[in-house]
Structure 1
Amino acid sequence: MRYIIIGAGAVGGSIGGRLFESGHDVVLVARGEHGAALRGHGLTLRTPDATLSLPVPVADGPDALDLRDDDVLVLATKTQDTAAALDTWAPVAQGLPLVCAQNGVANERIALRRFPDVYGMCVWLPSAHVEPGVVVAPCAPLTGMLHLGRYPHGTDATVSRIAADLESSAFLRAPVTDDVMRWKYAKLLTNLGNAIEALIGRDESTHALHQRARAEGAAVLDAAGIAYASQAEQAAKRGDLVTVRPVEGAPRGGGSTWQSLSRATGSAEADHLNGEIVLLGRLHGVPTPVNDTLRLLLNRAARARRAPGSLPAADLVAAVDAAVEAAEGSSGSSRD
């Protein structure tokens, strides 16, 4: 199999780099300064144990490749870029399997409109991409754990082969599961805190706000009848295999949403993380003032290209409290 990594940022670069390092055929798809750096100097993959320079082949899109029957497309863009990316690849890549190595739960459904064989990947792979040509993968002993399964459910020979290739790297684990979306919905609950970290940084208020966002999200999933792996189940599976450690010359920044603000991309995933909870809440009659406030404020910060951590924590807490109070007042009025 040849792995075509569409979106060679933090997650795509880490997966593609580890596959290439272990002898697999890989192409990284990247454009702009990042693509130019990859073509000129290869992928620099920084880990707790080493800094690797990997001459992975690079393409800027499908026109630069002769697609093969044994190709696997690995989509690692942010969700807001999924439809545009798939519209580029779908006309020339029909019949190829597509793996959604992305946060959120909307990508697989978007992909299934265009590709018949879609696979979900629950990405436990903390990594960072803020410098062209460079990806920092700070976890050890494993770079990541990647639950895989066919979408919407089930397994097949293709996903088993993909998992075997990932596991051939000493730094990746890829459990195959017939209910991969249950793991992705669990990851979604964790990712509800991404907006908080991006807006205020790491503050003593972060944990309490994250818990409020997660509790609201869990209430929505329960109301919708959507299954998700418990925190205890996730912790037991992960153990201490994917643990953040220092990487020389690469101070720890933040998660994927923090990185979007850091790179001043002008967009972020809030509509597909916190916004997924808002959508489901509206569909099932569950108020979601915490996540809706986080979604709105994060989108404003992204559009204004504000630096991560630029919102005072007290302002965020006040905005969330006001939204909750308003929602409770509205709910009381409707009962009257």
Structure 2
Amino acid sequence: MRFVILGAGAVGGVVAGRLDGAGADVALVARGAHLEAIRRDGLLLREAGGDSVHRVPAYASPSAVDWRDDDVAVLAVKGGDTHAVLADVPRGRPVVCLQNGVANERAALRRFADVYPVCVMLPASHLAPGVVVAQCAPVPGILDIGRYPSGTDAVSADISASLVKAGFHSVVRADIMRWKYAKLLMNLGNAVEALCGRVDGLDEAAAPLRAEGETVLYAAGIPFVSLAEDRARRGDILQLRAVAGVERAGGSTWQSLARGTGNVEADYLNGEIVLLGRLHGVPTPANETARRLVVAAAQRGAAPGSLTPSDFLAEVARAAHP
């Protein structure tokens, strides 16, 4: 089994480096300066326990990969890139969705029979070409996996075993989407963190987003694990640790603004709740406001911290009571 990691950013890069370090067969797809740095110097994985360099095959696109029959395609791109990436993956491969959000699996199932969602709990960052940082140690992340829409099989068990060998916590779950919907609720606050920066008051500003999200999921009849179940799964496994010379970054949306990428994945996080709200007649002004504001911030090149939490809540109030 070879893991072809499609998207070597924070999560994809850390997983690739860890798998390679554990002896797995790994190839990467990256782009731009990041790809050039990996080809020239290798992928630098920075961790609290030390740095490691991983010289693995790196390609500019899925169509350039020398695909093999035993390859597993691992999607580690933002939701907005999923359709384009899948179009260049040969049919018949297992597809692993190492991504936030819940729309990627459905998109993959249109083209591929064997789709494997992963609930990603992996604090990581990618702010410089060729470099990814694992922010937790000694366990870098929790990566539970199952089949989509439900169930387990030998492939999911093999992938989980490879992740465990690479130092991650991973169990195989027949109800993996319950966990991914719970993670979606947590990720709704990513937009607020990006808009406001890592400041006091984020929990209060993000609370309306989660409340709307839970209401929408109940209305849609979509099950998700409780906060208590989620906390029990995490336990004390994920321990944030300082990495020498690296300031701890915010979440994935914060990092997109910090890198000035011009786009964020809010359409597939907050936008998922907005979509479900429209389908089931549930107002979602807080999530629509967060989606709209962070997308606009990305498009104009704003850095994290362009609003205060009170500014954001005022925007939500205006949207709820125009």
Partner of 1:64: 64
Partner of 1:130: 127
Cα deviation, residue 44, structure 1: 0.7
Partner of 1:301: 297
Given the alignment, which residue of 87, 109, 116 partners 2:113?
116
Partner of 2:53: 53
**CA offsets 1:143-202 (integer angstroms, 9 cap, x no match):** 111110100111111111111111112x21111000111000000000000000000112
Q: How does 1:202-281 map to 2 (within 5 A)?
A: 202-281=198-277
CA contact under 8 A between 2:101 and 2:184: conserved in structure 1? Answer: yes
Q: TM-score, normalised by structure 1?
A: 0.94
CA distance in 2, matches of 1:63, 1:98: 15
Q: Which amino acid aligns with 2:34?
A: H
CA distance in 1, matches of 2:263, 2:251: 15
CA distance in 2, matches of 1:100, 1:172: 16
Partner of 2:174: 178
Higher alpha-carbon Rg: 1
CA distance in 2, matches of 1:322, 1:205: 19
CA distance in 1, matches of 2:155, 2:238: 25
Partner of 1:150, secondary structure, is coil
Q: Please list every run of at least 4 consecutive aligned residues from structure 1 whose deviation after the TM superposition is greater than 4 angstroms.
A: none
The 10-residue stretch of structure 1 (294-303 or 236-245) with the greater mean CA deviation from structure 2:
236-245
CA distance in 2, matches of 1:10, 1:33: 15
Given the alignment, which residue of 89, 97, 102 partners 2:99?
102
CA contact under 8 A between 2:44 and 2:131: conserved in structure 1? Answer: yes
Partner of 1:80: 80
Q: Which amino acid aligns with 2:285?
A: P
Partner of 1:88, secondary structure, is coil
Q: Does the alignment pair 1:142 with 2:159?
A: no
Q: Which amino acid aligns with 1:31?
A: R
Cα deviation, residue 63, structure 1: 4.1
CA distance in 2, matches of 1:9, 1:275: 22
Cα deviation, residue 29, structure 1: 0.8
Q: Which amino acid aligns with 2:184?
A: L
Cα deviation, residue 106, structure 1: 0.3
Sequence identity (%): 56
CA distance in 1, matches of 2:189, 2:66: 41
Q: TM-score, normalised by structure 2?
A: 0.98
Partner of 1:197: 193
Gaps of 5+ in 2: none
The 10-residue stretch of structure 1 (285-294 or 49-58) with the greater mean CA deviation from structure 2:
49-58
CA contact under 8 A between 2:9 and 2:76: conserved in structure 1? Answer: yes
Given the alignment, which residue of 163, 183, 186 partners 1:187?
183
CA distance in 2, matches of 1:181, 1:219: 18
CA distance in 2, matches of 1:112, 1:242: 31
**CA offsets 1:219-252 (integer angstroms, 9 cap, x no match):** 1101111111111111111111112221111101
Partner of 2:105, secondary structure, is helix
CA distance in 1, matches of 2:62, 2:310: 47
**CA offsets 1:21-41 (integer angstroms, 9 cap, x no match):** 000000011121000000011
The 10-residue stretch of structure 1 (51-60 or 96-105) with the greater mean CA deviation from structure 2:
51-60
CA distance in 2, matches of 1:211, 1:135: 30
CA distance in 2, matches of 1:242, 1:100: 21
Cα deviation, residue 312, structure 1: 3.1
CA contact under 8 A between 2:188 and 2:269: conserved in structure 1? Answer: yes
Q: Which amino acid aligns with 2:101?
A: G
Partner of 1:244, secondary structure, is coil
CA distance in 1, matches of 2:126, 2:233: 26
Partner of 2:239, secondary structure, is strand
Partner of 1:325: 321
Gaps of 5+ in 1: 327-336
Q: Which amino acid aligns with 2:66?
A: D
Partner of 2:312: 316
CA distance in 1, matches of 2:268, 2:8: 20
- The root-mean-square deviation of aligned C-alpha atoms, in Å, is 1.1
